[in-house]
Structure 1
């Protein structure tokens, strides 16, 4: 057993450190995130309630309360945690370690509260654990470009992290459930405490280049750019489009989870025993997440924006098929597709944010993204929970298919309008650069007194009264004279601007290999 464990550990290390990931720190980050996911799974297994041992109608109320409670940490993460993380870019390792140490102490408190059945301690501590978990995820996503090797794309790197996190969680959940049934939930929480404390030490030992230096503010005191929170919300059309598509996918995922679950509980999905059906659906969802991570690591040469739209289209098509022929196995297929679309779409969205958003507001943007996605998942779960009261399988899936198809059509129309507007701007810029000028004006000097530029003196005169050429401080900026009407009927020539392109005041990614 020991030899097998060591062999598995060496094989995992080779996978996490492949393609230069061990040199840049990506391998260490993958291992840390896998352990983090295992710790979260242990906490979940220890605190798992007995909702579905209650009558179905009572379980609906408990589930609705649970869904509303899960929104609270994201309301905290978006406006507060993200900006705080952006202000401590030079100490990201210690921020991540702080979230892990904090969860370890909270697990110790929850273990004592479980023994004494102190609900007033368990629930606030559980919410705090969830907030710190999301803070870690936001920090981990923000530092990904700084540990990215040259040979690995962002989507692939995110997929590796997600793949190992899913595997470790899949191993930890049954182990935690077994220990909880055997020794009690308090021992699972104590094991999670030790695991989180160990992870905090590993976080401090991440490479130093994870801590990016505090960059100088891009705006001066007299700059009129919007404040940080407005910049954070104005994420640009590419990120906004991908985020809206992921909102629709996450709504779909939450809807399918609770809609199918309550159909099984009310025995409206015949074929197998309810417990067996729930197990099959859970296996399908887990397999869909793993397949999504695997596909994300394979499609490294494809555009993440296209990947997001394809996942939405796939979810809509699968739902249409399941609505037409609703059976147990089409429901299983829909559960697999929902998990696949959620995993792959989120990985592509992370890559887009890491590529498009500047480092000074990246953590804040990830906080906003996580908040919107969680809220959409909760709303979808509530809709699925309520619709299971009134509609059987085909009717509910038909409603969901209409929502997905409408979202996809709207996004495609908006994308087409945006691309056409961009092409029009490019064509207008090219036309301005190739404006025709009369032949006699080409290369001649404009008559009349020279224009005195602001901040510079006028033309200097020598002893003979003639103007001496003025030496300019910077490179000469050639002015193209206005093109008067060609009344002489002469030929015209085309003058192209030789000015160097205007320097863009944008900050490069932290990692030069990205």
Structure 2
């Protein structure tokens, strides 16, 4: 062990060895930097300049197609990757390399309709990375008690990275969109290099046993998982609702950029506040507050009916989803103590990504008016809160979510 640490120290320039979580944090930060570069570069491209009516059919098609990898492929390929030594690490590395190649393709096709399939290929890769990251986090922390804190820190890293890189990327964007995309290519290549040095771990060497299956299908875990899917579905709904509705308004692209920026700030704030909330209240209360907040602000934004109300709602929705995720992870941690964390969170994240895509399809297909979309979000939030309470989602936990559920206490 001493020899190994000395070798790692020498490889790191004499500094203390980099922990697996630090390596994953660096990889995640670089992936976020690449994502930010792509987002800003597309702002002046055909992707956002094409008329909403012309874009709608393409968005519907590619959103529907993007569900296929998660609905069909993931249930079969996921378990195989989990059983491979370094399988999810390989997925992260491949995603980073492929995203760099996609950005190179985008730089060549900024004024072509080919940009649409490239953009949605990038979307599928981003969702794939999110699932792989969820399965890797448990293997980078010393104990299960640090899992929620680790995910909160990754959320903070993502938010801080976004704000740090947005200025240099914006300056490159003034030169050309290709320059901004070049920044993204370098970020994804650096992410791939960092991913290569992630530990080669086996996420799940054996299939789930009866106890794991029973715990993951307990009332509390299922109720929390459904609540989380509602929140992620609403996030997808708001993203595409604002994208199409604001395009029909004056300075639509600028307002949409403001909505994305404030949503990022809200998510960052939620990831900082979430751990403190968890110390002060039960995790089921955190989930319930998240759903109720979405319901109340959604109804308020519908009544107000203006652009600023919609932007505020987008920020609240993203913050609620971040708070809800921390509460959900704590619920799984306490309600399913014998489950394989990597496999469980990978499966749940797959379901959440499908909820995001399904939520995004609705406003693209039905194109509701601005206030109507906000009202729909309010109704979904309120309905989600009612269903969560009626499903006995509040039976677990004490402060901090460390108590087990009634089902476990009765054993």
| TM-score under structure 1 length normalisation | 0.62
Alpha-carbon RMSD: 4.1
Once the two structures are superposed, the pairs formed by residues 59-78 of structure 1 within 5 Å of their partners are: 59-75=55-71, 78=74
2:237 maps to 1:287: no
Alpha-carbon offset, residue 275 of structure 1:
4.5
8 Å contact from structure 2 (residues 216, 332) kept in 1: no
CA contact (8 A) 2:159 2:265 kept: no
Instruction: Report if aligned partners of 1:103, 1:193 keep a CA contact under 8 Å in 2.
Output: no
Give yes or no for contact 1:97–1:201 (8 Å, CA) kept in 2: no
For 1:312 and 1:425, the matched residues in 2 are separated by 26
Q: Structure 1 residue 412: deviation in Å?
A: 0.2
Superposed displacement of residue 38, structure 1? 1.4
Q: Answer whether contact 1:245 1:407 (CA < 8 A) is retained.
A: yes
Between the aligned partners of 1:417 and 1:277, the Cα distance in structure 2 is 38
Give the structure 2 partner of residue 237 of structure 1.
219
Aligned pairs (5 A) from 1:169-184: 169-172=162-165, 175-176=168-169, 178-179=171-172, 182-184=175-177
Instruction: Report if aligned partners of 1:156, 1:298 keep a CA contact under 8 Å in 2.
Output: no
1:290-333 CA distance string (max 9 Å, x none): 11111123334244333222211111121222233333433332
Deviations 1:18-73 (A, max 9, x none): xxx98753233222211122123334445664244233322333433343343234
CA distance in 1, matches of 2:136, 2:76: 18
Instruction: Indicate if the aligned counterparts of 2:292 and 2:385 stay in contact, CA closer than 8 A.
Output: yes
What displacement does 1:123 show? 6.8
Task: Provide structure 1 residue ranges, at least 5 long, that are not aligned to the other structure.
Answer: 1-20, 220-224, 430-514
User: Are residue 312 (structure 1) and residue 291 (structure 2) matched?
Assistant: yes
1:361-372 equivalent positions in 2, closer than 5 A: 362-372=341-351
Q: Which moved more, 1:188-197 or 1:374-383?
A: 188-197
- Is 1:264 matched up with 2:246? yes
- 8 Å Cα contact 1:308/1:344 also seen in 2: yes
Structure 1 counterpart SS, 2:392: helix
CA distance in 2, matches of 1:371, 1:279: 27
For the pair 1:297 / 2:275, whether they are aligned, the reply is yes
State the partner residue of 2:201. 211
| Residues 230 and 381, structure 2, Cα contact 8 Å, conserved in 1 | yes
Q: SS of the residue aligned with 2:275?
A: helix
Q: 1:135 to 1:282 in 2, by over 3 A?
A: closer
Residues 242 and 349 of structure 1 are in contact (CA less than 8 Å); yes or no, is this contact kept in structure 2? yes
Mark the CA change 1:313 to 1:153 in structure 2 (over 3 Å): closer, same or farther.
Answer: farther
* Structure-1 separation of matches of 2:201 and 2:381: 40
- Rounded to whole Å, the distance in 1 between the matches of 2:304 and 2:311 is 12
Indicate conservation of the 8 Å contact 1:77/1:134, yes or no.
Answer: no
Secondary structure of 2:305's aligned partner: coil
Partner of 1:375: 354
* Residue 315 of structure 2: aligned partner: 336
Query: Which structure is higher in RCO with an 8 Å CA cutoff and minimum separation 6?
Result: 2
Aligned counterparts of 2:334 and 2:407: Cα–Cα separation in 1: 25
Contact 1:82–1:365 at 8 Å: present in 2 too? no
Q: Which has the larger radius of gyration?
A: 1
Partner in structure 2 of residue 147 of structure 1: 140
Going from structure 1 to structure 2, the CA distance change for 1:74 and 1:43 (only over 3 Å counts) comes to: farther
Taking the aligned partners of 1:348 and 1:417, their CA distance within structure 2 comes to 12
Which residue of structure 2 aligns with residue 439 of structure 1? none
| Superposed displacement of residue 244, structure 1 | 0.8
Structure 2 CA distance for aligned equivalents of residues 321 and 372 of structure 1: 29
User: Who is 1:39 aligned against?
Assistant: 34
Q: Which residue number corresponds to residue 156 of structure 2? A: 163
The answer on whether the counterparts of 1:86 and 1:361 sit within 8 Å (CA) in structure 2 is: no
> 1:372–1:276: structure 2 CA closer, same or farther, 3 Å change rule?
same
| Residues 1:337 and 1:353: Cα distance change in structure 2 (over 3 Å) | same
> What is the TM-score normalised by the length of structure 2?
0.75
Q: Select the residue among 391, 398, 401 that pairs with 1:414.
A: 391
- TM alignment of 1:456-495, pairs within 5 A: none
Counterpart-to-counterpart distance in 2, 1:212 and 1:401? 42
What is the aligned length?
Answer: 386
**Structure 2, unpaired ranges of 5+:** 1-15, 397-404
Structure (1/2) with the larger helix percentage: 2
Q: Relative to 1, partners in 2 of residues 1:327 and 1:178: Cα closer, same or farther, differing over 3 Å?
A: same
Partner of 1:250: 232
